[in-house]
Amino acid sequence: MKDTVWLDCENDLLMYIDQTKLPTELKICSCDDVFDLYEIIKRLSIRGAPAIGVGAAIGLFAAANKFEDETEDGFLYSFKKGAEYVNSSRPTAVNLSWAVKRMINCAEQHKGNGVDAIKKALKEEAIAIYNEDIECCKKIGLHGEKLIKDGDGILTHCNAGSLAAVRYGTALAPIYVAHENGKKIRVYADETRPLLQGARLTAYELAESGIDVTLQCDNMVSSLMREGRINAVFVGADRVAANGDTANKIGTSGVAIIAKHYGIPFYVCAPFSTIDFNCESGKDIIIEQRLDSEVTEMHYKTRMTHENVKVYNPAFDVTDNSLITGIITERGVFTGDELIKQK
């Protein structure tokens, strides 16, 4: 697999795989404009919490490098406004706001050295965020791999693999490391309605990597678990509250409830930057509401329901910490009670 997002250092461009085109087309695109960056993240061309953060950091540098402001004050004003605009594209994933704040802080810390020096620092910071994500995901994989036995069947929901980060991903990182270490594993990927990230992305990247993967509809989870095919569940997270509640793609909490019923361990994999210690619990997480058309028309040749039907389409749901066996980060595996001590 190629990196999902990266910096073209020679031309100072954000490069990315357009995930809306997968699995039928592997399209590589570029960006150096704040307004385009907002749309790219909003329409899910770049999606997955870590990838959004890295993409935002690189994209903000690429856009800022084209700013024509000659004074520091003018440049910093334009950069902050652009960063705030990009930050508003997706409200749930904390990695976006984390990366945006980091880039703003970087710009402010180099005030007084001139516009060119600020741009240079922003480039270095964006590259650092990119490299840190790769290292972080590999560490998540190393910690999580210890929880996988040879021959295990692993269930995952949505896409938290390499396409959701730069490489390795979060929830799929333990699977990739286990595969590298020669463990024979079977992965079951929920299709993940309505955007089908599991069908379009997870199944695609696992199959491309030579990993045994089976696709099933979201409502088939209980059947799989009842038949004894699932030994563990690994999912990602777009935001983790201080108490260990997690927000992930819609449908995740249902999987956790069913796993609890069957006594199957349920693990959430996320970079430590995904933990929002200012968010006390899942009740405080803002849940993004998306377009009706994603349910009624997307992936259909014609509209599949009556035009007067109302649509409920939250992008995420919250999984209570009591349902989570462990939260796997680059720092290790924690329960909700242990997490707050890491602040």
Share the mean pLDDT of the chain.
95
Written as six digits, the tokens of 86 are: 């990009």
pLDDT in the model for residue 277 = 92
Amino acid at 126: A
53 φ/ψ sector (left φ>0, alpha ψ -120 to 50, else beta): alpha
Write out the residue range of the structural domain in which residue 75 sits: 5-138
Whether residue 246 contacts residue 268, with contact meaning beta carbons closer than 8 Å, is answered with yes
Q: What percent of the chain has pLDDT above 90? A: 93
Written as six digits, the tokens of 110 are: 């180099």
Beta strands in 27-107 (DSSP E): 28-31
CATH number of the domain residue 59 falls in: 1.20.120.420
CATH number of the domain residue 193 falls in: 3.40.50.10470
- What's the rounded Cα separation, in Å, for the pair 63 and 335? 40
Query: What does DSSP assign to residue 289?
Result: B
Mark whether 24 and 114 lie in a shared domain.
Answer: yes
Whether residue 238 contacts residue 49, with contact meaning beta carbons closer than 8 Å, is answered with yes
Rg for the chain, CA atoms, rounded: 20
pLDDT in the model for residue 200 = 96
Say which residue the tokens 């269930």 belong to.
155
Collapsing DSSP to helix, strand or coil, 94 comes out as helix
Mark whether 193 and 298 lie in a shared domain.
Answer: yes
Active site residues: 238
Mark whether 102 and 51 lie in a shared domain.
Answer: yes
Mark whether 217 and 205 lie in a shared domain.
Answer: yes
- State which of 111, 138, 165 marks the end of a domain: 138
Collapsing DSSP to helix, strand or coil, 156 comes out as strand
Tens digits of residue pLDDT in 310-342:
999 999 999 999 999 999 999 999 998 888 778
- The count of structural domains within the chain is 2
pLDDT in the model for residue 340 = 75
Mark whether 132 and 148 lie in a shared domain.
Answer: no
**What is the rounded average pLDDT of the residues 281-307?**
94
- State which of 90, 118, 138 marks the end of a domain: 138
Mark whether 309 and 219 lie in a shared domain.
Answer: yes
- What's the rounded Cα separation, in Å, for the pair 127 and 140? 20
Mark whether 283 and 336 lie in a shared domain.
Answer: yes
Mark whether 122 and 236 lie in a shared domain.
Answer: no
Mark whether 301 and 190 lie in a shared domain.
Answer: yes
Mark whether 88 and 128 lie in a shared domain.
Answer: yes
Say which residue the tokens 């333990």 belong to.
174
pLDDT in the model for residue 328 = 98
Tens digits of residue pLDDT in 174-221:
999 999 999 999 999 999 999 999 999 999 999 999 999 999 999 999
Binned at pLDDT 50, 70 and 90, residue 1 comes out as low
Mark whether 111 and 236 lie in a shared domain.
Answer: no
Tens digits of residue pLDDT in 48-97:
989 999 999 999 999 999 998 889 999 999 999 999 999 999 987 789 99
Mark whether 111 and 234 lie in a shared domain.
Answer: no
pLDDT in the model for residue 70 = 85
99 φ/ψ sector (left φ>0, alpha ψ -120 to 50, else beta): alpha
Tens digits of residue pLDDT in 106-122:
999 999 999 999 999 99
- State which of 123, 138, 153 marks the end of a domain: 138
